[in-house]
Amino acid sequence: MSSLLNNPNLKKRKDPLDRGNDISPQKTFTLDDLKEINDKLPTNDNNGKRITFYSNVRINNHIKNKAEALSSIGLYKSQKEAIDEALDYLIDSLPSEDKRRLKFQIETLEERDVRMKGNKNA
């Protein structure tokens, strides 16, 4: 019992429950920062019938050069973003009947992706 009372670590501090300096994170973040990070992560949400993974499309050098030029002049951050925005622009300009058929096709392809890739990631 006397060894507990004569503990040299207790003599350094007056309060035996004192833990020293407060510890705080070097960098803090907000919920908006967390949402931004989550938006960049691939999704694997089988309940929402969507899964994101990388895929390749064969294109010729002329199409690649157009996408690269759009990003080089600063209109888009990347070739991927340039192509995505161009497709969105095209889809927005379609007649409503074509949009409806396209939406059905996209939903069918998304469901296939979930069936094919979703089970492997589960």
Q: What would the pLDDT profile of 44-100 be if each residue is shown by its tens digit? A: 555 666 788 888 999 999 999 999 999 999 999 999 999 999 999 999 999 999 999
Side-chain half-sphere exposure of 99, counting CA atoms within 13 A: 9
Q: Each residue of 15-47: pLDDT tens digit?
A: 667 777 887 877 887 887 777 776 665 555 556
Which among 55, 83, 54 has a CA at the least distance from the CA of 69?
A: 83
SS3 assignment, position 118: helix
Question: What CA–CA distance (Å, rounded) separates 101 from 40?
Answer: 29
Question: What CA–CA distance (Å, rounded) separates 38 from 16?
Answer: 43
pTM of the model: 0.54
Question: What CA–CA distance (Å, rounded) separates 2 from 4?
Answer: 5
Which among 115, 120, 119 has a CA at the least distance from the CA of 49?
A: 115
